[in-house]
Structure 1
Amino acid sequence: MTASPPSAPPAAGPGAAAPLLSAPLLQRLNERRDGPGWRRLAFHLTVLGLGALLWGWPMPTALPTASFWALRLVGLLLLGWGLAFGFCAMHECGHRTAFAGKTLNDTVAWWAGLLSFYNADYYRRYHQWHHRFTHQPGLDPELEEAPPSTLAGYLLELSGVPWWIGKLRGHAAGLRGDFGGRPYIPAEATAAVTRSIRLQVAVYAVLLAASLWQANGTLFWFWLLPLAVGQPLLRFVLMAEHGACSTDSDGLSNTRTTLTLPPLRWLMWDMPFHVEHHLYPSVPFHALAEAHGHLAPHLVHTGQGYLAVHRDVLRDPARLALP
């Protein structure tokens, strides 16, 4: 039987045990600055821009056909990953730690959500409960849909199809202002979240109308298709964050940190340092690597790359199932 979340979630944090990071160190790590956020945003926009340039590149007469299509495929992947991983930019800015000021964080989060087909105002509240009830069945909203426990379910999850279905249903409900069964959207926030979702869908509608008016399919070719292509990699990395981890309230055991290549870590806004982020969500993304240096000896789950994590999980996909 699923437990009902309390109306007032408990405070988040590493728990009642002795702190793993000293107060002076944590105070320094918590410093919020604009510079790292602007640099990371510039990197993310460069990936998007380069991808769009290569994907939309008209065929030159001097380039062999095979080389041209190979470059276009690279462009499609880069554009797709840039769009899908806009989720990571939205996530960091949703914590209001990526930049120094609230307005800049909220603005970047909203537009990153638009690109990645999330709504930042809804997600921020949803995500607060995920932090308070991390990987606890019946409490963590990320477990509203049970994780896969078979190879077929695992492959379906990687495809992104369940994600698309969930997003379409969620946006449709948000347009109606229907947040029943979602205690992380309190009554006083319903109007603001509904307005935000309606504004987002209005932007999509304008872009769709422009694409149809010009008869060029821009919305499909430069957003919908690339986003669908980019989803499997995003699903691949997100499944590693809590998959096959404990379902108790211990942040050291219910979350996984994955050590990965710098380009992917940059595109993910350092989300691979996920245990560190969950233990200390007030620490900005650019300080998580330093936090990892202090916390590494205490971590229960540390993946040596995403491929290694998934190889381990695939030995027994049932480990992903909830008790």
Structure 2
Amino acid sequence: MSAPLPHKAALAQLSPDRRAKLQQRSDAAGLRHLGLYLAALLSAALWVGLQAPLWPLMLLPLGTLWVFLFTLCHECTHDTPFATRWLNRWIGHACALPLMLPFTWFRAFHMAHHKYTNDPLRDPELEHGPRPENWRAYLRYLSGWGYWQGAVSTLLHVAFGPLTAPYLPPRKHAAMRREARLLLLAYGTIALSLLISPLAFWVWILPSLIAQPLLRAYLLAEHGRCPPVANMLENSRTTLTNRLLRFIAWNMPYHAEHHAFPNVPFHQLPALHQDLAPHLRSTSEGYTAFHIAYQATLTSTD
């Protein structure tokens, strides 16, 4: 068996026709996936909102669908879920509200992450320090507290602070500020609505708080304990998991493949996985296996 190739060499082995086919985007595929996702989200929300039998048990599934909108928002930064560009942008902006994640800012942030993946000095995902190295940091990360704290801080900073990060293009500053301020206005309106009805708390806020640790656990596997090298099939992890989680996460468990060839839409990633599987350097047999291995590396103190 030949040695695994770095991502550029592995992709170079694909024929031009194969590469073109893998990059084909589809409104039909994207809208079908989105329709099923939103149907599940709406059904869970109605179950909780109407307090149907055993409704507290639906809080975690509902929250999971809320927080995993992040994977759709992330995919929209690449303009790949749909063939029509305005659909990608409109849906990306729509995801900003439940996630507290201004899309225009996030798109620039995420493009820099792809350019400098796992580079401790230039990857913006690491600008506040490395991933958890001890049990205290690990549990804090999984709690979601750091995410919500960071989301509020980022939203206020983008709305009113200096936009000095090198990956934020000056031509987009005004749009970033406008979107962040509109989001703050929306959250203020929602907060006032809670004085009249607690519906938003039960249907969105509480489920999102409950489920955020699941998203944190999922995201840590994408690059956690991957080496800071240029090879995308090594600095990003593919986690082999079940069809349900691949559906909820828009096939992003194929994360090394996504980083190697980000122009490939979600519905083509299983096919790309078949092409690149012999060259993957960072993989896990499921998220439980990843976290067991990750925990074995944690220290007990700071």
TM-score w.r.t. the length of structure 2 is 0.93
Q: Does 1:251 align with 2:232?
A: yes
CA contact (8 A) 1:135 1:242 kept: yes
Q: Does 1:40 align with 2:33?
A: yes
Name the residue aligned to 2:190: 207
The residue type equivalent to 1:89 in the other structure is L
Name the residue aligned to 1:101: 84
User: Cα offset for 1:187?
Assistant: 1.5
Name the residue aligned to 2:45: 52
> Percent same amino acid at aligned positions?
38
The residue type equivalent to 1:86 in the other structure is L
User: Cα offset for 1:200?
Assistant: 1.8
2:257 pairs with one of 276, 301, 322: 276
Could you list the runs of 4 or more consecutive aligned residues of structure 1 that deviate by over 3 angstroms after TM superposition?
13-18
In 1, Cα distance between equivalents of 2:135 and 2:158: 32
Return closer, same or farther for 1:144/1:20 CA change in 2, 3 Å cut-off: farther
Return closer, same or farther for 1:96/1:34 CA change in 2, 3 Å cut-off: same
Name the residue aligned to 2:266: 285
Q: Secondary structure at the match of 1:229?
A: helix
In 1, Cα distance between equivalents of 2:254 and 2:144: 23
1:225 pairs with one of 173, 194, 206: 206
Q: Secondary structure at the match of 1:21?
A: coil
CA contact (8 A) 1:76 1:226 kept: yes
In 1, Cα distance between equivalents of 2:94 and 2:237: 28
User: Cα offset for 1:102?
Assistant: 1.2
Q: Deviations over 1:163-218 (max 9, x none)?
A: 111111000111105222x1111221110111111122222222222332x2x222
CA contact (8 A) 1:20 1:295 kept: no
User: Cα offset for 1:18?
Assistant: 6.5
In 1, Cα distance between equivalents of 2:186 and 2:285: 40
CA contact (8 A) 1:54 1:74 kept: no
In 2, Cα distance between equivalents of 1:201 and 1:43: 29
In 2, Cα distance between equivalents of 1:193 and 1:58: 38
In 2, Cα distance between equivalents of 1:18 and 1:269: 22
In 1, Cα distance between equivalents of 2:199 and 2:260: 42
In 2, Cα distance between equivalents of 1:287 and 1:276: 10
Q: Does 1:161 align with 2:125?
A: no
Mapping for residues 1-323 of structure 1, pairs under 5 Å: 14-15=7-8, 19-58=12-51, 68=53, 71-146=54-129, 147-180=131-164, 182-212=165-195, 214=196, 216-317=197-298
Bigger mean CA deviation after superposition, 45-54 or 90-99: 45-54
Q: Secondary structure at the match of 1:128?
A: helix
User: Cα offset for 1:20?
Assistant: 4.3
User: Cα offset for 1:154?
Assistant: 0.7
In 1, Cα distance between equivalents of 2:242 and 2:56: 22
CA contact (8 A) 1:276 1:288 kept: yes
The residue type equivalent to 1:201 in the other structure is L
Q: Secondary structure at the match of 1:113?
A: helix
Q: Secondary structure at the match of 1:252?
A: helix
In 2, Cα distance between equivalents of 1:74 and 1:21: 47
In 1, Cα distance between equivalents of 2:293 and 2:99: 29
User: Cα offset for 1:240?
Assistant: 0.2
Q: Superposition RMSD on alpha carbons, in Å?
A: 1.8
Q: Deviations over 1:31-53 (max 9, x none)?
A: 11101111111122122112212
CA contact (8 A) 2:48 2:202 kept: no
Q: Secondary structure at the match of 1:317?
A: coil
Count of aligned pairs between the two proteins? 294
Return closer, same or farther for 1:226/1:18 CA change in 2, 3 Å cut-off: closer
In 2, Cα distance between equivalents of 1:92 and 1:18: 21
User: Cα offset for 1:317?
Assistant: 2.2
Q: Deviations over 1:217-250 (max 9, x none)?
A: 2232222211111100000010000000001111
CA contact (8 A) 2:100 2:152 kept: no
User: Cα offset for 1:126?
Assistant: 0.4
The residue type equivalent to 1:227 in the other structure is S
User: Cα offset for 1:15?
Assistant: 4.0
Q: Secondary structure at the match of 2:235?
A: coil
The residue type equivalent to 1:172 in the other structure is L
